[in-house]
Structure 1
Amino acid sequence: MEFRQLQYFLMLCKELHFSEAAYKLGISQPTLSQQIRVLEDEVGVPLFDRVGKKTVKTEAGVILERYALEVVQQLENAKQAISDLTDLNAGHLRVAVLPSDLDYRLTSLLIDFHKEFPNTKVQVIPSIDIVNKVLDNEVDIGVGLAIKPDSRLNRIPFYTETYSLYVHKEHELAEQDIISPTDLSNIPLVMYPKGFYGRELIDTWCEEQEVSIEAIMETGSATSLFQLVKEGIGATIQPSQLIESFQSLGIRAIPIKGSPIRDLEIFYRNDKYLSLAAKTFMKRLEVFFHNTL
């Protein structure tokens, strides 16, 4: 059984279509079909069933896929470990984060990290599907809201933060020291669209508080939301620490009594080798957020 055959096999498992899998592998369909037949002859059972135009994995195919993924991951781990020794921390670090407010806050961290690891290419990928990106090996590290325990993942809680109501300094509520949940019902708000983690957390909290809020405008950008607040279009509910980034716009953060709270975690696959750069990034992330308290 050759490693190349496992790569062909795994691509077919992913696509479940011979033409698509062959195209993504850069080989012809007959070549892919021939290599799968060789693999099936070696294991002694069919790995796929061809039902009309559909291709489905057999029970044996499901088993082989699980172990093949482990083989590929272990080989990638070996490459990463050797790279740490020989390439002066060159490499590629991919981090998935919550869109908008969280990726916005990482800029200064990324600048400092680059000074220590100038040869490491870093990709920060905003996503609302962080867990699956980590599990599918599309990224190395996920940074987002706390998730349920998963035997496939290592999880590192690193920060808990409250939410505040953000208003322009000329807003009628700007001088209040705190605001109650019921008061939010009467305030025009600009918010993230439904489907964003931050919006879902706030909507769930509102249901628990038996409060109904109205969004008069929605946008997926933290910067645009705060610009709308600056222009007096409406107020917004955002993590309290964001005031440090937007105070210059003449905006005030008012604490909310019993406000929504979000717990943030770093998570990564427990079978994945983490490079020195990745470990350093995670440690820097914890320190960075704790210093904002």
Structure 2
Amino acid sequence: MPKTDTILSTKSLQYFLQLIDTMNYTQAAQILGITQPALTQQIKKLERAIGTPLFGQMGKQLYLTEAGKELQTGAIKLISTINNVVSDIQEFTQADKGNITIGVLEGVDAELVRQFLIKFNQATPDIITGINYFNRKDLWYNLDNNLIDLAIFYVPQTMKKSQSNLQNQYDWMKICSDRLTILTHDSKLEAGKSYLPAQLKNRQWVAYPDHFYLTKMMKAKFGSKINVKNGLKAPMRFSSTKQLVATAEETSYDTFVSGVYYQHHQEEISLTPIYLKDEQEYTISVIYRKGKNDVPRIKKFLTEFKDFLAKQADK
């Protein structure tokens, strides 16, 4: 048996792809739940089996070699194929067994999902659920290629013609309404009121990175009024909402979060919550490929999640 048959396993390829996600052996090993030496050994086995390095290093920074890029493409396709086969088989199994993978858009507050998963796990412990966070491009890629079962996105209330692909190829279920919430130090502004962007034109911000949905909403509202070369006047940027708010609290900078996040953490936040006039409405929604709801475990998940959300709304 060729050594590639034993080395190029699904597990080794998943280790390889996880290392690409972080480009850091320590972080990748922590996510995988293994030791760093064990991960290093697996990567070296892959490289020996293939006969060429998959990663290079410039200083302390890892990068993919051309061979690594080729294997990345093949690994994604292979794991996607395996997942599709397993998913097809599990469609004919019981509704209380199998795996459900959930992708969440960076910046989305998934606290309601986390709370539901606890109850769902207690009722159906043989269904294994997992959540990973992605940027919008990677989340769509994973959803399109069936690498995840469900995706949690921000979805505008009004669908554009350019989003007809979403309507034609996918179904979705609303989790909750949400709104952009400004957290400000300005004592002249009243909590819960809406203000024009011009009334905040001299503020500086702790912001999410430029590609985050809420940052794009802010830039669309403020336009050139407070734009500098690289966007909003944001001397500090974080992808973590918790770090974003903590930094705003410890500095003179304002920030912005989702309304859902503020609702869940308002007792911990001393900044004043305000809103922008004529802001774009949006929802947090679960999106999935058409036909996915025919899979018994997915149907069970979505049905029970819908019931959970209805009970939350009644509280």
Category of TM-score, reference length = shorter chain? 0.5 to 0.7
Change in CA separation of 1:174 and 1:167 when aligned onto 2, cut-off 3 Å: farther
Return the alpha-carbon distance in structure 2 between the equivalents of residues 184 and 289 of structure 1.
Answer: 35
1:191 to 207, 226, 230: 207
Return the alpha-carbon distance in structure 1 between the equivalents of residues 284 and 141 of structure 2.
Answer: 17
Cα displacement (A) at 1:144: 0.7
Tell me which stretches of 4 or more aligned residues in structure 1 moved more than 6 Å: 70-74
Cα displacement (A) at 1:283: 3.9
> In the alignment, which residue of structure 1 is the partner of 2:92?
82
Question: What's the CA shift string for 1:78-134, capped at 9, x where partnerless?
Answer: 41123326xxx1221100111233235532222222222222211111111222111
Change in CA separation of 1:272 and 1:160 when aligned onto 2, cut-off 3 Å: same
Question: What's the CA shift string for 1:60-81, capped at 9, x where partnerless?
Answer: xxxxxxxxxx997875444112
Change in CA separation of 1:228 and 1:75 when aligned onto 2, cut-off 3 Å: closer
Q: Check whether the contact 2:202–2:226 (CA below 8 A) recurs between aligned residues.
A: no
2:182 to 165, 168, 183: 165
Cα displacement (A) at 1:206: 3.1
1:279 equivalent in alignment to 2:295? no
The SS at the match of 1:150 is: helix
Return the alpha-carbon distance in structure 1 between the equivalents of residues 291 and 199 of structure 2.
Answer: 48
The gaps in structure 1 that reach 5 residues or longer are: 1-22, 30-52, 54-69
Return the alpha-carbon distance in structure 1 between the equivalents of residues 108 and 293 of structure 2.
Answer: 29
Return the alpha-carbon distance in structure 1 between the equivalents of residues 117 and 83 of structure 2.
Answer: 27
* Percentage identity across paired residues of the two chains: 16
TM-score with structure 1 setting the length: 0.64
Return the alpha-carbon distance in structure 1 between the equivalents of residues 112 and 199 of structure 2.
Answer: 29
Larger radius of gyration: 1
The AA in structure 2 aligned to 1:236 is T
Q: Check whether the contact 2:206–2:254 (CA below 8 A) recurs between aligned residues.
A: yes
1:247 to 258, 263, 266: 266
> In the alignment, which residue of structure 2 is the partner of 1:202?
218
2:164 to 125, 145, 149: 149
Return the alpha-carbon distance in structure 2 between the equivalents of residues 149 and 93 of structure 1.
Answer: 26
Change in CA separation of 1:167 and 1:150 when aligned onto 2, cut-off 3 Å: same
The SS at the match of 1:82 is: coil
The AA in structure 1 aligned to 2:184 is V
RMSD between aligned alpha carbons?
3.8
1:135 equivalent in alignment to 2:144? yes
Change in CA separation of 1:74 and 1:244 when aligned onto 2, cut-off 3 Å: closer
Cα displacement (A) at 1:210: 6.0
The SS at the match of 2:195 is: coil
Within a 5 Å distance, the mapping from 1:47-58 to structure 2 comes to none
Return the alpha-carbon distance in structure 2 between the equivalents of residues 171 and 289 of structure 1.
Answer: 36
Cα displacement (A) at 1:287: 5.4
The SS at the match of 2:178 is: strand
Change in CA separation of 1:73 and 1:272 when aligned onto 2, cut-off 3 Å: farther
Within a 5 Å distance, the mapping from 1:11-90 to structure 2 comes to 75-84=85-94, 89-90=96-97
1:117 to 124, 148, 153: 124
The SS at the match of 2:102 is: strand
Question: What's the CA shift string for 1:146-180, capped at 9, x where partnerless?
Answer: 38232773222514422121135x84535573322
Return the alpha-carbon distance in structure 1 between the equivalents of residues 132 and 187 of structure 2.
Answer: 35
Return the alpha-carbon distance in structure 1 between the equivalents of residues 81 and 266 of structure 2.
Answer: 51
The AA in structure 2 aligned to 1:161 is D
TM-score with structure 2 setting the length: 0.60
The AA in structure 1 aligned to 2:103 is A
